[in-house]
Amino acid sequence: MSTKYLKLPSIFSDGMVIEPLAKIWGNTKKHTNVSIKLLDKKNNSILSDRSPDEVMSNEHGDFEIHLEIWPAKEGGPYTLNIKSEDEEINIDTYVGLVFLCAGQSNMEQPLSRTKPLLDKFINEDIRIHAFHIEKKYGFHKEPYAKGEWTKAMGDDLLNMFAVPYFFAKKYLELNLLKDTPIGLINIAAGGTPVEAWLPKEIIKNYPDLYEKFLPYEDNNLVAKIEEENQKRVTKWHEELEKNDKGILNDWHEITYFKVSDELDDDEFDDDEFDDDEFEEYTTKTTTLLDNSKIIKFGSVWYKKFITIAHPNIRNVKECYIDFGRVTDSIKIWINDVYIGQISYQYPPARLKIPNGILTNGQATILIRVVGESNPIKFAYGHKHFIELDGKKIEISGKWEYEKGHEMEMLEPSTWFYNMPTCVYNTMLYPILGYSISAMLWYQGESNTNSPNIYPELFKDLINHIREESYNQYKYYTDEIEQLPVYYTQLANYVDPHGNGENWAKFREMQRNLVEIIPNSKMAVIIDSGEYNDLHPKNKKTVGERLALLVQSDKRYSDKYNELETGPQVQSAIYNENNRTITISFKYAMGLWINGRPFVILSNKNDSKKIFEFAKIENNCLLVENIDKYDTVEFGYFDSPYITLYNGYNMPASPFKIDIQNL
């Protein structure tokens, strides 16, 4: 918000949530007095009576004021009034709790992507406010960034980040906070490694990363690469469009036979179907999962006839077509009508079908799939269907197909979002200093190949945020370590580019991070992923476990329950006399398992691994009649299919630990 001279970062705008101890900053004319007051809208009384009356801007016009609302008046909206000479800004402001929610794509995933699974749990809540900063990369610090506050209401609801939303809902429920606003500062960006969130001053301590960063300090080079990327991509697609037989022959305008809405059965006269244009090129059929006989790069068209027989077709409210995930992009037509497209490989190809497109009888589905830098592929394990108000019509099986045009692989573009400092400068730096209660972190997928360096990078990130954040712990104790950090361990997933243990090794490193990062806790979500999707839909479990983690922390909650953190492996002890291994845990009361438990045993100087079944006894895992080994693993796979829980149904992290002698 701004006037002619008085300017505030976009995070200070209508709908914002601040904590009882807050810092406000901005810019005005140099050496100018700036005053701030928090006013009750009802009677215009001052709520911030402990804040300074005014401060003076420096020679650059910058100012900051520390606002104290005591006793805390949680709720709102109040009016935050900021004056500089004859200029003033008034902001609708709420007082409550604020959480910084950062990471990569699984933190960024919106509620709209989770709706097919979690629709009944998504509802409006006027207490939940979220600040969404503009997603942007850059290699120089930008003090101001675009962004806005929205509430979990109306059209804004489904654009909320899913994990923070479910966290806030659960946190409000656990603490019986009826009128307390929750502010969520969402700054996640897909594909970002941890080093992308670090400043240049820290990256300098890592020679390899600093060398990678240095060329991009040249804005002209970045602009040149962006231009070259765009030209190459445009040229590739222009050649494909120019030679694609489907486009040249208007396959998307094929004639189809449509039966009346009043159809009561599935009798059709197939002779009436005019499909000469497509059949002139193909009589070949395949399943969508079998692309081995077709091209890798370029375009392939698929077509299928289906039968619609719905007793109330004209009154269907929600209609979708779903192909799971498709590499790299897909366009869909139904009955000659263009439905839409998914332009890159990670979002599921689930599109809404407009009312009136489908009627009872025979319908034609036509899709065009393009492989650019990745071979054309439909992800395994996803069902393909049309959904009419929850009723699913299977569209798997055989499809007619024809290649549009075969191309050479498109050289991948430079991905700036994985470069050091790239989002720190544009997304984190502009909001550092905003008052927060804690940090929630969901990231790591882009660092699974570098688990050895990650702990130091993550520690540097947390220390930096703690130094720069304004929070009640620092205010009262002057101990920057006090800001709590709650992070998520990676979910189960089969990494198609890994060796079967990349994610397992990374999770083990994350499990040990709590010993490296003071005042941190880890949410285990090993049972909430999808083996074939990097972006699982079950963000409710993730958000709620983060909320339970905060609740289980006696430093920050008077209702803590350590069992809600889940079992934590303590030791594995070998008893030579009775040839048993006893694996013990903290917080394991009521220990149980969702399958027959087994462990993997090995020796450090031998690559051979031994699988042995275990049993649960006295809230421990017990392996009997076994020789001495050096290490024991449990669930140590990218996507383990068994999980260990305590009586609160909280899962234990997979682990790999050394075996000690009794």
Q: For 290-319, write each residue's pLDDT tens digit.
A: 877 789 999 999 999 999 988 888 888 889
Question: Which pLDDT value is given to residue 293?
Answer: 73
Q: What is the dihedral of CA 496, 500, 506, 507, to 10 degrees?
A: 110
3-class DSSP string for 545-611: HHHHHHHCCCCCCCCCCHHHHCCEEEEEEEECCCCEEEEEEECCCCCEECCCCEEEEECCCCCCEEE
Q: Which pLDDT band holds residue 49 (cuts at 50, 70, 90)? A: low
Predicted structure pTM score: 0.91
Percentage above 90 pLDDT, the chain: 70
User: Is there a contact between 651 and 624 (Cβ–Cβ < 8 Å)?
Assistant: no
Say how far residue 408 (Cα) sits from the centre of its chain: 32
471 has pLDDT over 70: no
User: Is there a contact between 89 and 8 (Cβ–Cβ < 8 Å)?
Assistant: yes
Q: What is the DSSP string of 283-328?
A: --EEETT--TTS-SSEEEEEEEEEEE--TTGGG---EEEE---EES
Name the DSSP letter for residue 57: -
Quote the strand ranges of 471-567, DSSP E: 485-488, 520-523
How far is the C-alpha of 465 from the C-alpha of 534, rounded, in Å? 27
How far is the C-alpha of 26 from the C-alpha of 64, rounded, in Å? 7
Most confident residue range from 264-268, 397-401, 477-481, 488-492: 488-492
Question: Which pLDDT value is given to residue 107?
Answer: 97
Question: In Å, what is the CA distance from 309 to each residue of 135, 202, 441?
Answer: 44, 62, 47
629 has pLDDT over 90: yes
Task: State pLDDT tens for residues 525-552.
Answer: 999 999 889 999 999 999 999 999 988 7
| Cis upstream peptide for 271 (omega within 30°) | no
| Mean pLDDT of all residues belonging to the chain | 89
Question: In Å, what is the CA distance from 39 to each residue of 15, 73, 81, 94, 309?
Answer: 15, 11, 7, 11, 61
How far is the C-alpha of 350 from the C-alpha of 331, rounded, in Å? 11
Question: Which pLDDT value is given to residue 649?
Answer: 93
**Amino acid present at 460:** D
- For the chain, the straight-line distance linking the first and the last C-alpha, in angstroms and rounded, comes to 66
515 has pLDDT over 70: yes
Take residue 52 and report the two structure tokens written for it. 């300074």
Question: Which pLDDT value is given to residue 47?
Answer: 78
User: Is there a contact between 176 and 92 (Cβ–Cβ < 8 Å)?
Assistant: no
| Cis upstream peptide for 110 (omega within 30°) | no
How far is the C-alpha of 569 from the C-alpha of 646, rounded, in Å? 12
Each residue of 133-143: b (16+ CB within 10 Å) or e?
Answer: bebebbbeeee
Question: Which pLDDT value is given to residue 50?
Answer: 54
Question: Which pLDDT value is given to residue 175?
Answer: 83
Coil, strand or helix at 494: coil
How far is the C-alpha of 34 from the C-alpha of 7, rounded, in Å? 12
141 has pLDDT over 70: yes
- Class of residue 92 by CB neighbours under 10 A (exposed 0-12, middle 13-18, buried 19+): middle
How far is the C-alpha of 612 from the C-alpha of 651, rounded, in Å? 21
Select from 410, 406, 425 the least CA-distant residue to 240. 406
User: Is there a contact between 440 and 99 (Cβ–Cβ < 8 Å)?
Assistant: yes
Lookup result for tokens 């069902």: 383
Task: State pLDDT tens for residues 157-208.
Answer: 999 999 999 999 999 998 878 889 999 999 999 999 999 999 999 999 999 9
Lookup result for tokens 């958000």: 543
Question: Which pLDDT value is given to residue 331?
Answer: 96
Of the candidate ranges 486-490, 552-556, 618-622, the one whose mean pLDDT is the lowest: 552-556
Question: Which pLDDT value is given to residue 269?
Answer: 38
